[in-house]
């Protein structure tokens, strides 16, 4: 197939006499007419599924000769149509010079415990670069337990003579081996997700088409077919048969076809049954074989044998011949969770035809009734139309209004218009008015000026009313209008009721039990988000044992719901929609039944489901993973022990210098002033006290001052936590011993004042510190509290600089500060609500900064200038795309989710616009990165280096920037 794609795209340059549209049509005819898989109707065809290049070239030559005789023969299988669509997409992609490159692969977390599988949680698949399509398909097949068993228990040929003879089957063997390994890991791995790289590479090498996701998906069923078809259990699972019956140029025909994925058109249909009805009946069309023969042709499809797994391919991509590229169809298409296929079965052919005819008749009647109803609901002959019942009601209200005897322009105060002019108005048309020259003259009337006069004249009519109407006229008119309105309302209700009854009759046409004997339950929905040339794939798969829908999104496997599935799969919401539906025969429970031990009768799970060789393979991988976790734990324990030894080995001198050298406030001078102030106040109260008594009093004075600050209700711009570590500790209910030791450290500072009183107090404080036993104060906890405070100050500095840059519109520089401010702050808030700053505030400006950068990058891209475009895409790749997972990681943050969607929609909107090929190529390269829904956080560089601020300077600048935000805040900020 890949050779056919390459050959056709090469031939494009060798057909100068044909325009692109003609060539595109020729390529489709080539596949429709000459590619046949499993057809029993036409044995004189050229098979392009083999390895014979001569056959391929002969097919192309024949198609070019008949390019002006475009026609479609009957009996075309679904696989032929799938191949045709693949070729269409490939040709379009080649012509538009659209190239895909792998998205950046997110690195694994260094901590293996983050990659550990939760108990009973399904295993995900790592996205190794544009492979989300592979993950979605593989997970859908893996969760078909019968298919899972077939793969796990597949045995490759053991003897040389049993090896496959052709290249295709040789190619399948390594893939099947790797698929067994992959499935076994999905069954029994201890990892949260596994790496499918090897299977993906084999698959890509098999088709030589690593850049075409559609090709690989369309032929996934083909490549996993091992052995000859009669011996292949895959045929029994996925392949069925239908009967094509019809008339071709007046001659009846009947052909049996095999099908796997059944293709359905989406455009123009509202639900799956409408798509199926259209696919099963190809209406009468004029034959294009000959201009002389105008006989009608048409055909019907009737399923004779449905497969246990019924797969529908929804054609949501179409080729725009004007623009020369494929486009995605975003129309809404509904599909049921339970699908009854009785109406499409050959054995029900007669009754279905009767019902179809009845539905056709009802729809014709429905059209007539809807047209009649429309005349009642949109009444009038002009461009503006209204419901007839309302028109009659308005007429009744007008007739019933109090009659007036004057014109609405009379009794208005006569005043001159500005500038000394007056308004020239014609006299009102009165009954019985004269027709003489004086009556025909225009008279001067002043216009009421609402902005210059204090009140509206009291006699001015407030609403239109009849000028003259008698009681008898009013009585007759009101009676007529009331009667007519009642008739119109009754007619409208009758029409609406009849329309509803017809809709209900059509809905229930196939609801009798005889037409509900072939039930198929929805097993999996494969979803694509994005446009024709770029996007992301995931799958919704039903777990029948938990009665729960699951969402398989690369490494992420989460519980979902039917409501979420409907939102993302029906279409019309964002750019997401289903492109493949997998139904399973509800009367064949073996498809999804677990396997049981024949001796014990217990259900097999985990490694017990695997054959010996795969069990050994998974156990070996699990041992590697366990060893990785043990090595990590050993390394972390060693680091922790080293930290404890270093902490224990620290001398008292180091503790005493702590407040000076590593003071949490970062400002020893400010701390010394506070300490000396407390000592002076204590001395004033107790002039003759001993140094120890003065120390105790000074500590109480200082603590009382700080406690008052902690209890004070202050605005955001005045945060006392920044002024002293003790205020922070009080806010967060730090242990009493931690607070006491911190205060003692403050009074033990050797740089305290030079007078004898301060020196003596400093010596007493040091002596008290030396008397504190190791078990009285947990030094690890002590250090942890002070580390948290240092992180709080760092968070404040990150936020301060980020907001200052944001207000200066320096969004590129501001982003990293806001990113690290949010990250540090979130870590603090995880320990308590007062450990950090307002999370919503930081999230708001982080989000706004990304939106501003996205807008700026889009504006640069729109210029079309190479330098500007590259600069814009650089901003997106290095900043915006890298930060999007930070916004997606918490799905509860609705504003962040909306912002991401807005950014993506801005760039997706360019896909439908005309642009230079080089811009189109850059856009196509960039979009998969933007649309990647992975929430794997990319590791950022080291945080920006922070300047050193004194406590006074930090508090002042923080207060200024918070005040600026308050002054610039608007209701639109949502804050």
**DSSP state string for 346-367:** GGGHHHHHHHHHHHHHHHHHHH
Check if 955 is active-site. Answer: no
Instruction: pLDDT band for 763, please (50, 70, 90 cuts).
Output: confident
Instruction: pLDDT band for 352, please (50, 70, 90 cuts).
Output: very high
Strand bridging mode 309-315 / 576-585 = antiparallel
Which 3-state string (H, E, C) describes 713-767? Answer: CCCCCCCHHHCCHHHHHHHCCCCHHHHHHHHHHHHCCCCCCCCHHHHHHHHHHHH
Q: Which residue is it, tokens 């407030």?
A: 462
User: Does one domain contain both 122 and 227?
Assistant: yes
* CATH label of the domain that carries residue 173: 3.90.70.10
| pLDDT for residue 666 | 44
User: Does one domain contain both 245 and 159?
Assistant: no
Q: Please, which residues have CB within 8 angstroms of residue 699's CB and are 6 or more apart in sequence? A: 678, 743, 744, 747
**Rounded Cα gap, residues 832 and 785, in angstroms:** 12
- Residue 328 DSSP class: E
Residue 387 in this model has a pLDDT that exceeds 80: yes
**Rounded Cα gap, residues 652 and 265, in angstroms:** 80
Strand bridging mode 424-425 / 443-444 = antiparallel
Give the count of beta carbons closer than 10 Å to the beta carbon of residue 319.
20
* Domain termination site, one of 555, 589, 623: 589
Maximum Cα–Cα distance for the chain, whole Å?
128
Check if 132 is active-site. Answer: yes
| pLDDT for residue 298 | 83
Question: Can you tell me whether residue 276 is helix, strand or coil?
Answer: helix
| pLDDT for residue 167 | 58
* Domain termination site, one of 589, 618, 646: 589
Instruction: pLDDT band for 273, please (50, 70, 90 cuts).
Output: very high
User: Does one domain contain both 333 and 315?
Assistant: yes
User: Does one domain contain both 230 and 258?
Assistant: no
Instruction: pLDDT band for 285, please (50, 70, 90 cuts).
Output: very low
Residue among 181, 301, 536, 837 flagged as catalytic = 536
- Residue 386 DSSP class: B
N-to-C CA span, the chain: 58
Residue 269 lies in a domain: yes
| pLDDT for residue 646 | 63
Instruction: pLDDT band for 799, please (50, 70, 90 cuts).
Output: very high
Residue 42 lies in a domain: no
Instruction: pLDDT band for 231, please (50, 70, 90 cuts).
Output: low
Write out pLDDT tens, residues 564-616: 999 988 987 778 889 899 999 999 998 888 888 777 878 888 888 889 999 99
User: Does one domain contain both 152 and 225?
Assistant: yes
**Rounded Cα gap, residues 464 and 951, in angstroms:** 73
| pLDDT for residue 91 | 39
Question: Can you tell me whether residue 320 is helix, strand or coil?
Answer: strand
| 903 closest CA partner among 920, 879, 867 | 879
- Residue 530 DSSP class: E
- Distance of CA 208 to CAs 184, 201, 258, 601, 944, Å? 27, 10, 27, 47, 45
Residue 905 in this model has a pLDDT that exceeds 80: yes
Residue 523 in this model has a pLDDT that exceeds 90: yes
Residue 764 in this model has a pLDDT that exceeds 70: yes
**Rounded Cα gap, residues 585 and 660, in angstroms:** 76
**Rounded Cα gap, residues 904 and 530, in angstroms:** 9
DSSP code per residue over 847-892: HHHHHHHHHHHHHHHHH--HHHHHHHHHHIIIIIHHHHHHHHS-TT
User: Does one domain contain both 224 and 120?
Assistant: yes
Say which residue, 127 or 81, is predicted with more confidence: 127
Domain that holds residue 315: 238-285+296-338+520-589
Residue 697 lies in a domain: no
* Domain termination site, one of 589, 621, 642: 589
Structure-token pair, residue 839: 């999370």
Domains held by the chain: number: 2
User: Does one domain contain both 308 and 243?
Assistant: yes
Write out pLDDT tens, residues 480-491: 999 999 999 999
Instruction: pLDDT band for 454, please (50, 70, 90 cuts).
Output: very low
| 907 closest CA partner among 918, 919, 917 | 919
Residue 525 lies in a domain: yes
CB 142 within 8 Å of CB 135: no
Residue 530 lies in a domain: yes
pLDDT, the chain, mean: 76
Say which residue, 149 or 689, is predicted with more confidence: 149
Residue 731 lies in a domain: no
Question: Can you tell me whether residue 616 is helix, strand or coil?
Answer: helix
Residue 659 in this model has a pLDDT that exceeds 50: no
Q: Please, which residues have CB within 8 angstroms of residue 644's CB and are 6 or more apart in sequence? A: 780
Alpha-helix runs per DSSP H in 571-611: none
Check if 580 is active-site. Answer: no
Least-confidence region, from 149-163, 327-341, 416-430, 595-609 = 416-430
| pLDDT for residue 531 | 77
| 256 closest CA partner among 71, 94, 38, 467 | 38
With pLDDT > 70 as the criterion, what percentage of the chain qualifies? 71
User: Does one domain contain both 281 and 199?
Assistant: no
User: Does one domain contain both 244 and 205?
Assistant: no
- Distance of CA 116 to CAs 1, 110, 113, 122, 628, Å? 40, 12, 5, 12, 11
Write out pLDDT tens, residues 663-707: 444 456 667 777 777 787 877 776 667 888 888 888 888 898 889
Instruction: pLDDT band for 230, please (50, 70, 90 cuts).
Output: low
Q: What is the mean pLDDT of residues 747-756?
A: 74
Residue 124 lies in a domain: yes
User: Does one domain contain both 264 and 218?
Assistant: no
| 131 closest CA partner among 61, 229, 205, 197 | 197
Residue among 219, 221, 528, 724 flagged as catalytic = 528
Residue 292 in this model has a pLDDT that exceeds 90: no
Q: Please, which residues have CB within 8 angstroms of residue 35's CB and are 6 or more apart in sequence? A: 45, 46, 47, 48, 49, 59, 80, 83, 84
User: Does one domain contain both 302 and 213?
Assistant: no
User: Does one domain contain both 543 and 583?
Assistant: yes
Angle between helical axes of 881-888 and 917-931 (0-180°, round to 10):
30
Residue 374 lies in a domain: no
Residue 92 in this model has a pLDDT that exceeds 60: no
Residue 851 in this model has a pLDDT that exceeds 90: yes
């Amino acid at each position: 197939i890949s050779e056919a794609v390459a050959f056709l795209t090469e031939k494009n340059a060798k057909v100068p006499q044909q325009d692109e549209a003609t060539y595109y049509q020729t390529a489709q005819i080539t596949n429709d007419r000459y590619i046949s898989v499993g057809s029993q109707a036409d044995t004189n065809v050229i098979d392009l599924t083999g390895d014979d290049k001569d056959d391929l070239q002969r097919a192309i030559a024949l198609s070019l000769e008949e390019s002006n005789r475009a026609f479609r023969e009957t009996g075309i299988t679904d696989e032929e149509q799938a191949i045709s669509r693949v070729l269409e997409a490939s040709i379009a992609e080649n012509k538009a010079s659209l190239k895909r490159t792998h998205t950046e692969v997110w690195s694994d977390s260094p901590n293996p415990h983050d990659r550990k599988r939760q108990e009973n949680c399904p295993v995900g698949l790592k996205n190794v670069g544009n492979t989300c399509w592979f993950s979605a398909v593989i997970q859908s097949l893996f969760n078909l337990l019968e298919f899972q068993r077939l793969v796990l228990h597949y045995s490759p040929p053991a003897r040389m003579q049993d090896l496959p003879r052709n290249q295709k089957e040789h190619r399948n063997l390594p893939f099947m081996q790797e698929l067994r390994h992959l499935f076994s890991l999905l069954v029994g791995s201890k990892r949260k997700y596994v790496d499918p790289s090897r299977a993906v590479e084999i698959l890509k090498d098999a088709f030589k088409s690593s850049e075409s996701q559609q090709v690989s998906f369309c032929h996934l069923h083909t490549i996993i077919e091992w052995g000859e078809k009669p011996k292949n259990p895959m045929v029994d699972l996925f392949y069925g048969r239908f009967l094509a019956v019809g008339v071709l140029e007046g001659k009846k025909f009947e052909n049996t076809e095999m099908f796997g994925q059944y293709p359905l058109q989406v455009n123009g249909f509202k639900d799956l049954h409408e798509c199926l009805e259209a696919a099963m009946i190809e209406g009468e069309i004029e034959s294009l074989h000959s201009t002389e023969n105008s006989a009608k042709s048409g055909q019907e499809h009737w399923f004779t044998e449905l497969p246990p797994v019924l797969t529908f391919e929804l054609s949501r991509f179409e080729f725009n011949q004007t623009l020369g590229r494929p486009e995605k169809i975003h129309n809404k298409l509904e599909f049921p969770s339970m699908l009854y296929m009785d109406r499409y079965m050959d054995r029900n052919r007669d009754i279905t035809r009767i019902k179809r005819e009845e539905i056709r008749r009802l729809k014709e009647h429905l059209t007539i009734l809807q047209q009649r109803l429309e005349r009642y609901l949109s009444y009038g002959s002009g461009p503006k139309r209204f419901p007839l019942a309302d028109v009659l009601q308005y007429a009744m209200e007008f007739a019933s209004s109090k009659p007036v005897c004057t014109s609405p322009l009379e009794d208005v105060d006569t005043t001159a218009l500005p500038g000394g002019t007056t308004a020239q108005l014609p006299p009102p048309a009165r009954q019985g008015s004269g027709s003489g020259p004086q009556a025909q003259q225009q008279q001067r009337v002043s216009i009421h000026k609402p902005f210059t006069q204090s009140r509206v004249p009291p006699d001015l009519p407030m609403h239109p009313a009849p000028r003259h109407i008698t009681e008898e006229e009013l009585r007759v008119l009101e009676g007529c209008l009331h009667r007519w309105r009642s008739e119109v309302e009754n007619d409208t209700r009758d029409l609406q009721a009849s329309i509803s009854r017809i809709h209900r009759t059509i809905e229930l046409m196939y609801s009798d039990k005889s037409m509900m004997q072939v039930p198929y339950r929805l097993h999996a929905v494969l979803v694509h988000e994005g446009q024709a040339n770029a996007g992301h794939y995931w799958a919704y798969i039903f777990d029948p044992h938990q009665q729960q829908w699951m969402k398989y999104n690369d490494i992420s496997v989460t519980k979902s719901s039917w409501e979420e599935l409907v939102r993302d799969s029906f279409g019309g919401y964002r750019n997401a929609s289903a492109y493949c539906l997998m139904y399973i025969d509800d009367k064949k429970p073996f498809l999804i039944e677990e396997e049981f031990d024949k001796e014990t009768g217990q259900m097999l799970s985990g490694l017990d489901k695997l054959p010996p060789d795969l069990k050994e393979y998974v156990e070996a991988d699990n041992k590697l993973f366990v060893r990785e976790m043990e090595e990590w734990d050993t390394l972390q324990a060693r680091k922790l022990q080293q930290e404890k030894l270093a902490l224990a080995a620290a001398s008292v001198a180091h503790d005493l210098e702590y407040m000076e050298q590593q003071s949490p406030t970062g400002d020893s001078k400010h701390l010394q002033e506070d300490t000396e102030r407390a000592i002076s106040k204590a001395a004033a109260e107790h002039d003759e006290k001993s140094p120890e008594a003065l120390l105790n009093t000074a500590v109480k004075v200082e603590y009382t001052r700080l406690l008052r600050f902690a209890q004070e209700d202050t605005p955001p711009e005045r945060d006392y936590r920044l002024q002293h570590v003790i205020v922070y500790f009080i806010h967060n209910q730090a242990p009493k011993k931690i607070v006491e030791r911190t205060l003692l450290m403050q009074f033990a500072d050797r740089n305290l004042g030079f007078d004898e009183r301060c020196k003596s107090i400093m010596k007493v404080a040091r002596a008290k510190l030396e008397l504190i036993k190791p078990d009285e104060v947990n030094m690890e906890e002590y250090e942890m509290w002070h580390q948290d405070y240092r992180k709080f100050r760092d968070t404040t500095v990150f936020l301060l600089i980020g907001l200052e840059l944001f207000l200066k519109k320096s969004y590129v520089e501001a982003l990293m500060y806001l990113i690290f401010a949010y990250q540090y702050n979130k870590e603090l808030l995880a320990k308590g609500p007062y450990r950090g700053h307002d999370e919503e505030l930081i999230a708001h400006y982080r989000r706004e900064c990304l939106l501003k950068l996205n807008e700026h990058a889009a504006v640069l891209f729109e210029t079309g200038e190479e330098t500007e475009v590259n600069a814009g895409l650089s901003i997106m790749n290095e900043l915006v795309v890298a930060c999007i997972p930070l916004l997606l990681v918490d799905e509860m943050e609705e504003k962040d989710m909306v912002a991401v969607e807005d950014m993506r929609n801005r760039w997706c909107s360019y896909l439908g616009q005309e642009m230079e090929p080089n811009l189109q190529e850059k856009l196509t390269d960039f979009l998969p990165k933007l649309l990647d829904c992975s929430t794997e956080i990319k590791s950022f560089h080291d945080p920006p280096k922070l300047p050193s601020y004194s406590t006074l300077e930090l508090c002042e600048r923080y207060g200024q920037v918070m005040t600026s935000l308050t002054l610039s805040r608007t209701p639109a900020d949502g804050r």
